[in-house]
């Protein structure tokens, strides 16, 4: 059952020619805001949701897993066209967890998540670079 704390659903793009894929599932209000930005921005030429898959090795079990990157975008920047893999995260999840005033169980969970996320992001950076793209992480600070 989905948590009621998070905004989740299926986004219906208005500009269907720009959207790549069959559906855009958002898992947070931040993702929904980004989807709207992509759909409405005339400089975004193409975008997709979770259809670029990057293999990564989890530091927890040393096995290869599949990372479904949140978004792919093709954007016109001046007279150039650039491509990005985009991860949408709350700002506090883009920094290592702080140990001060944390319950041990919660801190361990955050440390495991941080280890997995950094492994995913390192793999996504390498994957994007091979494609001539760039990997970026967007937070609520970027979506104002």
CA–CA dist 95, 85 (Å, integer): 19
Q: Show the CA angle centred on residue 137, arms to residues 107 and 10, nearest 5°.
A: 95
Among all residues, which ones are annotated catalytic? 31, 70, 89
CA–CA dist 80, 76 (Å, integer): 6
Q: Which residues pair with 19 in a beta bridge?
A: 47
CA–CA dist 133, 20 (Å, integer): 17
Task: Give the total residue count for the chain.
Answer: 144
Query: Do residues 24 and 49 make contact, with C-beta atoms less than 8 angstroms apart?
Result: yes
């Amino acid at each position: 059952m989905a948590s009621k704390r998070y905004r989740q659903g299926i986004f219906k793009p208005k500009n269907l020619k720009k959207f790549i894929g069959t559906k855009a599932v958002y898992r947070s209000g931040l993702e929904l805001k980004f989807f709207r930005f992509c759909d409405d921005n005339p400089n975004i030429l193409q975008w997709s949701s979770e259809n670029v898959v990057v293999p990564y090795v989890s530091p927890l079990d040393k096995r290869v897993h599949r990372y479904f990157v949140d978004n792919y975008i093709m954007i016109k920047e001046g007279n150039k066209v650039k491509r990005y893999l985009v991860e949408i995260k709350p700002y506090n999840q883009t920094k290592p967890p702080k140990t001060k005033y944390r319950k041990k169980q919660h801190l361990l969970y955050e440390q495991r998540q941080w280890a997995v996320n950094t492994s995913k992001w390192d793999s996504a950076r390498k994957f994007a670079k091979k494609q001539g793209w760039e990997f970026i992480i967007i937070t609520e600070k970027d979506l104002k």
